[in-house]
């Protein structure tokens, strides 16, 4: 153990595609901002982080007298649904006695289907794992799942035991005392709604729901590929398609204004809602299939709207 005086030396590592919630967690934990390492993702590998780059960053910090202690990998990044190489990152964490966390907030739901479980290869290396049932598992907001390999670390860090909270069940460890697993004292009964989803739908219906969304996203991806005015920016992994309208060669902003206008116009119509991100300097549109009632006709209608508005925008240039 390094002791409290080493707090200023602790270093966190993650892909630059990792959700910003990790940065907020570091701020809460007291990690110095300059010790938060966002390792550039590998664009040639669908924006997954390269283990070699993480290992190199750790080596540099070790030589500077710092203490690498936490690696976060993502299964389904927010911007492009990239999947980080879990097994290799886990082995790096193990070699340096670091905590290894896997964030599968969005894409973890897909792994209810056997054909997508390979995305979790290496999960056995994790010290902790999270998934958001409210994102893609038919559960209303909010409902996040957290698993830890050794609960004692969590309890030792967050436990409080004032006299006015003591009770027989907690003292005898016959119940899980949620106050010792989280920052807040109390919590809502979130698990009930997830239990209801599992009981009402069952495994087969949940699998069908995920597979339908995958198929609809694949359909949209094919529509984009069929129109030479557009490009798919990175291969689809789940139900998110990253695409953009190709800019005329004369544009000097790499199509940012062009695609922003397309997004804004389509969203203002009230017929669809798409969001954006930036990948390798490109302003990218994100089409996500995630609503329970989405059908093929909705995907077709969305694509027609995008094509029509693209024609108007390009025609006005």
Instruction: Express each pLDDT in 16-75 by its tens digit.
Output: 999 999 999 999 999 999 999 999 999 988 999 999 999 999 999 999 999 999 999 999
CATH class of 213-315: alpha beta
Mean pLDDT of the chain: 94
Residue-by-residue DSSP string for 27-42: HHHT--GGGEEEEPPB
Whole-angstrom distance, CA of residue 143 vs CA of residue 76: 18
Q: What is the pLDDT of residue 3?
A: 65
Peptide bond into 61 cis (omega under 30): no
Whole-angstrom distance, CA of residue 234 vs CA of residue 158: 41
Q: Please state, for a pLDDT cut of 90, what percent of the chain lies above it.
A: 84
Q: Global pTM?
A: 0.92
Task: Specify the CATH number for 4-193; select among 3.40.50.261, 3.40.50.2300, 3.40.630.40, 3.40.640.10.
Answer: 3.40.640.10
Bridge partners, 283 (sequence order): 278
Q: Which residues of 37-51 are buried (b: 16+ CB within 10 A; e: fewer)?
A: bbbebbeeebbbbbb
Q: 1 pLDDT exceeds 60?
A: no
Distances (CA, A) of 168 to 171, 172, 179, 185, 216: 5, 6, 15, 18, 53
Based on DSSP, count helices (H) and strands (E) in the chain, helices before strands.
Answer: 9, 10
Do 213-315 and 4-193 fall under one CATH topology? no
| Opening angle at CA 116, ends 154 and 42, nearest 5 | 75
Question: For residue range 206-262, what is the model confidence (pLDDT) as tens digits?
Answer: 999 999 999 999 999 999 999 999 999 999 999 999 999 999 876 678 899 999 999
Question: For residue range 6-16, what is the model confidence (pLDDT) as tens digits?
Answer: 889 999 999 99
Q: What is the pLDDT of residue 7?
A: 87
DSSP code, position 249: T
Domain boundaries, the chain: 4-193, 213-315
**Residue found by looking up tokens 């907030």 in the block:** 105
Say if CB 95 and CB 193 are below 8 A apart: no
């Amino acid at each position: 153990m390094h002791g409290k005086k080493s707090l200023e030396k602790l270093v966190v590592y993650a892909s630059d595609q990792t959700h910003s919630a990790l940065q907020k967690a570091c701020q809460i934990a007291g990690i110095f901002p300059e010790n938060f390492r966002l390792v550039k993702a590998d664009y040639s590998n669908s924006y997954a982080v390269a283990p070699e780059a993480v290992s190199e960053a750790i080596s540099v910090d070790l030589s500077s007298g710092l203490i690498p202690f936490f690696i976060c990998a993502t299964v389904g990044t927010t911007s492009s649904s990239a999947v980080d190489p879990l097994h290799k990152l886990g082995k790096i964490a193990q070699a340096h006695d670091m905590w290894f966390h896997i964030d599968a907030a969005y894409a973890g739901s897909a792994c209810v289907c056997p054909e997508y479980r390979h995305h979790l290869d290496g999960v056995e290396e994790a010290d902790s794992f999270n998934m958001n049932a409210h994102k893609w598992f038919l559960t209303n907001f909010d409902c996040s799942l957290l698993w830890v390999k050794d609960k004692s670390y969590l309890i030792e860090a967050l436990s409080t035991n004032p006299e006015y909270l003591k009770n027989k069940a907690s003292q005898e460890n016959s119940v899980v005392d949620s106050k010792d697993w989280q920052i807040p004292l109390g919590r809502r009964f979130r698990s009930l709604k997830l239990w209801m989803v599992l009981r009402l739908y069952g495994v087969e219906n949940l699998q069908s729901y995920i597979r339908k969304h995958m198929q609809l996203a694949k359909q949209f991806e094919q529509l984009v590929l069929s129109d030479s005015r557009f490009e798919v920016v990175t291969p689809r992994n789940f139900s998110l398609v990253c695409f953009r309208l190709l800019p005329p060669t004369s544009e000097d902003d790499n199509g940012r204004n062009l695609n922003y206008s397309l997004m804004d116009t389509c969203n203002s119509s009230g017929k669809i809602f798409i969001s954006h991100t930036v990948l390798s300097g490109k302003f990218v549109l994100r089409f996500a299939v995630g609503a329970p009632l989405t059908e093929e006709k909705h995907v077709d209608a969305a694509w027609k709207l995008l094509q029509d508005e693209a024609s108007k925008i390009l025609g006005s240039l």
